[in-house]
Structure 1
Amino acid sequence: MEQGNLFGAAGALSVNTVVDGSRDAAYAAAYAKETNVGMERHVKLFKNGRNQAVRIPREFELPGEDAIMRKEGDKLIIEPARKLSLLELLDTLEPLDEEFPEIEDLPAEPVDF
């Protein structure tokens, strides 16, 4: 495994990683390497039924339950699906073709404050 910015001159994990008590940070530092693009990690592909799958390591976990996947050349890119605004959500609905019944316009009732 290549040693990158995550390791000191002596080749050990940085003191900050070990001292802060985060085993996840130490795990990520030991098995991932930092590149000029960001973090990188070698993962295994496997079959899940007829689909090819990959386990996403904890340090790369995405928020939410949905993601967007696209292919750019030979790269597969997975990013969190952003939540739609109310207007965007309403824009996805089909218009209603039925007529609404007439609603009687009643005068406002007085309210005591």
Structure 2
Amino acid sequence: MTKLAKVFMNGQSQAVRLPKECRFEEDEVLVKKIGDLVILFPKKSVGQIFEDSLLDFPEDFMKDRNQPPMQKRKANTPQRS
């Protein structure tokens, strides 16, 4: 769904008037800017959005990946002066 939203100035800040269908229930949203793209998403559902995105991967995702065995390494202990 793509809708047109109006951009306007509110004091020294730029604001966007969202169409009714795109309203948020929260008082705050997170804003992510990627190039010219601006994405708004509910602050309280960030974890849920991440969890839901994991469900988009098919069950056999990277099934044939050649994962090398774990390397044995010495622990890096801090040096005393």
Using the size of structure 1 for normalisation, the TM-score is 0.37
Structure number with higher strand proportion = 2
Distance 2:28 2:5 in 1: 21
Extract structure 1 runs of 4+ deviating beyond 6 A: none
Using the size of structure 2 for normalisation, the TM-score is 0.50
**CA deviation map 1:26-74 (0-9, x unaligned):** xxxxxxxxxxxxx111222111001111111110011222210110111
| Greater C-alpha radius of gyration | 1
Counterparts of 1:1-113 in structure 2, within 5 Å, are 39-82=1-44
Segments of structure 2 that go 5 or more residues without pairing to the other structure are 46-81
Distance 1:58 1:49 in 2: 23
Segments of structure 1 that go 5 or more residues without pairing to the other structure are 1-38, 84-113
**Aligned AA (1:55):** R
Structure with bigger RCO (C-alpha 8 Å, 6+ apart): 2
Identity in percent: 36
**Aligned AA (1:43):** A
**Aligned AA (1:45):** V
